């Protein structure tokens, strides 16, 4: 079964809009695990506009499933990951001013940098993953960095699938097949939802984990978080 990791950034966004600690990201992390999620994902950004660096520290003691911290490996982020030692760190090349992640790594151009960062995390027994576009050359480049896994950036698939273009899955299935051949684990995330997750999972070879936040939280406003998590688990089984 593909693991479901719930990205709780949106809970932090809601909390920050009023100050205080309502809703609590710590309690929400406890709840999604209790409801069946097999992981918790956070993506702290330098301006801490949603998840704060202190949240990452506070969550360490309550996430008993897979703890995944995403982000651009600037020095402050690297220090945070080495301090909290999550199950997995996912490297994302997002710029400071972007609303949300909008591109994968150029693993060829950034090979030396990625090798250096990944080596440091792996020395500390932290599994590594690289956020990456569905491009075969980039998959090969990822292998050369020493990463354990890749995370396929799925926004393009989700957009095309919503338009009825199911052929949009092909670059992703091709990349997953190559990644598996190269010994890389395959994760995926960005704009995956209840509408497209089953089709995506059925067409991706050995999909280990999906990280879902915006859609899952939005769907939960109507259907309830416990119910939505069970719906995802059913589609991923």
What's the length of the chain?
A: 237
CA–chain centroid gap for 93, Å, is 13
The residue from 43, 151, 209, 219 that is catalytic is 43
The residue from 50, 151, 190, 219 that is catalytic is 190
pLDDT score, position 126: 98
70 as an active site residue: the answer is yes
pLDDT score, position 103: 77
The residue from 50, 66, 70, 219 that is catalytic is 70
120 as an active site residue: the answer is no
pLDDT score, position 39: 98
pLDDT score, position 97: 63
- Helix residue ranges per DSSP H, 94-224: 111-123, 136-145, 155-162, 170-181, 197-202, 214-223
pLDDT score, position 13: 96
The pTM of this model reads: 0.95
Domain 3-236 fold is TIM Barrel (3.20.20)
d(CA 159, CA 153): 12
The list of the chain residues with pLDDT below 50 reads: none
159 as an active site residue: the answer is no
Q: What is the dihedral of CA 88, 92, 94, 100, to 10 degrees?
A: -70
pLDDT score, position 102: 60
* Domain residue spans of the chain: 3-236
d(CA 32, CA 45): 22
Residue 42 near residue 69, CB atoms below 8 Å: yes
């Amino acid at each position: 079964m593909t693991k479901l990791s719930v990205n709780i950034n949106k809970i932090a966004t809601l909390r920050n809009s009023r100050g205080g600690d309502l809703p609590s990201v710590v309690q929400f992390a406890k709840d999604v695990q209790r409801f069946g999620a097999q992981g918790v994902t956070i993506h702290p950004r330098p301006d801490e506009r949603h998840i704060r660096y202190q949240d990452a520290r506070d969550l360490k003691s309550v996430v008993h499933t897979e703890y995944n911290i995403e982000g651009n490996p600037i020095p402050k982020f690297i220090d945070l990951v080495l301090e909290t030692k999550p199950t997995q760190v996912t490297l994302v090349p997002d710029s400071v001013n972007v609303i949300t992640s909008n591109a994968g790594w150029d693993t060829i151009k950034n090979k030396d940098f990625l090798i250096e960062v990944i080596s440091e995390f792996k020395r500390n027994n932290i599994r590594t993953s690289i956020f990456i576009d569905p491009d075969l050359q980039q998959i090969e480049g990822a292998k050369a960095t020493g990463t354990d896994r890749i995370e396929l950036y799925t926004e393009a698939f989700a957009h095309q699938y919503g338009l009825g273009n199911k052929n949009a899955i092909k670059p992703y299935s091709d990349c997953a097949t190559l990644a598996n051949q190269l010994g890389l684990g395959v994760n995926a995330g960005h704009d995956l939802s209840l509408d497209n997750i089953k089709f995506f999972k059925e067409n991706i070879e050995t999909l280990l984990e999906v990280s879902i936040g915006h859609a899952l939280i939005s769907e939960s406003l109507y259907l309830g978080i416990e119910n939505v998590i069970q719906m995802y688990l059913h589609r991923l089984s």
